[in-house]
Structure 1
Amino acid sequence: MIGADDLLVCGTCATQFDVPFNSPLPNCRICDDPRQFVPPSGQKWTSMGEVKKEYSNKWTQDAVDEKLWSIETAPKFGIGQRAILLQTPDGNVLWDLIALLDEPTIEFIQSKGGLKAIVISHPHYYTTHIEWSKTFECPVYISQEDEEWVNRSEENGGHTKLITGHKETILPGITAIKTGGHFPGSLVLHYQNKLLIADTIVTVPSGLYFKDRPPGTTSYTFMWSIPNMIPLPPPEIARIWTAIQGYNFDTTHGAFSGMDIRDPNVKKRILDSMKIQVQGEGHEQNVFEDHIKARPV
């Protein structure tokens, strides 16, 4: 049987396929989707064996919350997102994934107590989820609506759990919330005062410095395609708000390092940003509000 290090990995999105590296596919179906892109140089393939020769992971403790760690690959590989390790009294949860899983990363996570669960926000970050699940002997939670984008079979090990409802309790106090938008099953993760938002609610530069900013300044954007800059319409933006409005939080953690916002008014800033975007798309604000009213919690 071919080893995981010799399986095909997309060089653009870092998705791993159940295909040998020496027999590449004509294209990556993740990158061929209009939400993603194929670079001008064309489709490029690699393997985890090759990646391990040139890349390594680093982990950084959150400056405010010592139980929160960002794990990233350097230099940047694939999309460049981070995984976030969340330590709780009931066990650890990893939010989102990076493709590279090497021995130093395994040792670091095990030193922090291992993993009880992995939750992945959307298909662009599925990467090598089967290998992570096998290594840490824990389930990987994804939305049922996005199962079609899985590219490795559980016959090779690992355990995927589908979130079928609007939310799922992962561990006590940790809730995966299905918002839709970017993908039909896009997720955010809520724990205590934190909302881990990935690409579902995208932190924008003007949101990182908000002191003395004029009215109409946005903090977040809501996109069907982020790299191709295709925004969501009002009904989908309203769906996100309806999903999260019942949760309290004063911190958001985005898909990349440096995308954290701490503000007692951060929830209001999300709602304000939604209204700004809807109006910027040429809709009246009441169109957005009508969609919220039409979606009871």
Structure 2
Amino acid sequence: MVSSSSYLVCNTCGTQHGTADRTALTTCFICDDPRQYTPPSGQSFTTLAALREAGEHHNEFHPFRPHPLPSLSASGQPPLFTSIITVPKFAIGQRAVLIPTPAGNVLWDCITYLDEETVQKVNDMGGVKAMVISHPHFYSSHLEWAERFNCKVYLAADDKRWLARRNEERQLFLDEIETKVEVDGVDTGVRVVKLGGHFPGSLVLLYEGHLFTADTLMMTPAGRSNWSIDALGNPRERPKGVNTFSFLWSIPNMIPLSADEIMRMWHILKNYHFTSAHGLFPDWDIEDQSLKARVLESMQIQIRAMGHGQHPLLEESLS
């Protein structure tokens, strides 16, 4: 019997396919889709076994702590979550996010590389009780993780066709706009919301006012800029008209979503409260009490830039 560590893994997107036969798999169907790409060198595959044997990669753990309360230093607060990233970068390079909840840890999104050191570190932190994957580009090796940590994976039913491996004992397929993540019947407090857009089933995760966006809402450099002070250290206002997020059907190929699709996403997201956002890469984190307004502002900026001088979303406000 072939070990799953010998299954082929796409070097570009990190998807683990359900075969070790290189003659049976010559292209990656995830990267053949117009939302992805193939590098100039062409498509190529590796395996988890080969990556481990080469010894060139390892996973790093980076705790994120919100801005400190007046009574606590930053180091005195427990982390809101811990980012897990592969170094050096492999494939897309996204982070997996381990979120502690009273019912156990929930893993948001997944990375391909998994070794015994990572398993031990995660187990030392309480293991993984449930996983949620935002969209097909981050499906990676999620069944490897689910099997090692003996947990189930929440996935959007809309995107089921993009699975390269299937195990319906592990994979839970979501049809609803909002889903509660539970562990052994206990509510973790995590809410999974299907916004669509990038993929029909693209998901975001909400936990205690924190919005985990993956690339359903793509953070921009302007959104992550420090506008609070000028070059001399004086306080200043954030400039008007700069966006915080972009809304793309294809991120690497920079194909935007339609105005109507962006509006549909807003009509779902506006029903939720959040004051921070956490994107797909390490340090892509924004804390702002006005963050929901910045989401709407970003949507309106994009719609205007696409040539829509009149559109119903331009009339939306938070008041």
CA distance in 1, matches of 2:301, 2:275: 20
CA distance in 2, matches of 1:239, 1:140: 26
Write out aligned runs for 1:161-180 (5 A).
Answer: 161-171=172-182, 172=187, 173-180=189-196
The alignment yields a C-alpha RMSD, in angstroms, of: 1.6
Tell me, yes or no, if structure 1 residue 261 matches structure 2 residue 274.
Answer: no
CA distance in 1, matches of 2:22, 2:249: 34
Contact 1:275 1:285 in 2 (8 A): no
**CA distances 1:4-32 after superposition (whole Å, capped 9, x unpaired):** 11111000001011111543512100000
Write out aligned runs for 1:43-54 (5 A).
Answer: 43-52=43-52, 53=54, 54=56
**CA distances 1:82-139 after superposition (whole Å, capped 9, x unpaired):** 0000001111100000001111111111111111110000000001111111111111
1:267 maps to amino acid: K
Write out aligned runs for 1:18-29 (5 A).
Answer: 18-20=18-20, 22-23=22-23, 25-29=25-29
CA apart distance, 1:69: 0.1
Write out aligned runs for 1:92-241 (5 A).
Answer: 92-154=105-167, 159-171=170-182, 172=187, 173-209=189-225, 210-211=227-228, 212-241=237-266
Contact 2:7 2:20 in 1 (8 A): yes
Q: Which runs of 4+ in 1 moved over 6 A?
A: none
Contact 1:30 1:149 in 2 (8 A): yes
Partner residue of 2:300?
Answer: 275
1:170 maps to amino acid: V
Partner residue of 1:33?
Answer: 33
**CA distances 1:149-195 after superposition (whole Å, capped 9, x unpaired):** 0011328xx60000011111003321000000000000000000100
Tell me, yes or no, if structure 1 residue 60 matches structure 2 residue 71.
Answer: no
Point out the more displaced range, 72-81 or 110-119. Answer: 110-119
Partner residue of 1:5?
Answer: 5
Contact 1:59 1:71 in 2 (8 A): yes
CA apart distance, 1:287: 3.7
Change (3 A) 1:101 1:21: farther
Point out the more displaced range, 281-290 or 210-219. Answer: 281-290
2:8 aligned counterpart, secondary structure:
strand
1:204 maps to amino acid: T
CA distance in 1, matches of 2:219, 2:65: 18
2:272 maps to amino acid: Y
Greater C-alpha Rg: 2
CA distance in 2, matches of 1:145, 1:131: 22
1:243 maps to amino acid: I
Which of 247, 251, 257 is the matching residue for 2:272?
Answer: 247
CA distance in 1, matches of 2:93, 2:260: 30
Contact 1:85 1:92 in 2 (8 A): yes
Contact 1:93 1:118 in 2 (8 A): yes
**Residues paired across the two proteins, number:** 290
Which consecutive unaligned segments of at least 5 residues does structure 2 have?
A: 67-77, 229-236
Change (3 A) 1:265 1:285: farther
Q: Relative to total residues, which structure has the larger helix share, 1 or 2? A: 1
Which consecutive unaligned segments of at least 5 residues does structure 1 have?
A: none
2:106 maps to amino acid: V
CA distance in 1, matches of 2:88, 2:21: 22
2:212 maps to amino acid: L
2:223 aligned counterpart, secondary structure:
helix
Partner residue of 1:16?
Answer: 16
Partner residue of 2:104?
Answer: 91
Contact 1:8 1:24 in 2 (8 A): no
- The percent of aligned pairs where both chains have the same amino acid is 43
Q: TM-score with structure 1 length normalisation?
A: 0.94
1:101 maps to amino acid: L
2:311 aligned counterpart, secondary structure:
helix
Partner residue of 2:73?
Answer: none
Contact 1:62 1:69 in 2 (8 A): yes
2:271 aligned counterpart, secondary structure:
coil
**CA distances 1:226-280 after superposition (whole Å, capped 9, x unpaired):** 0000011111111221221111110000000121000100110001000000000
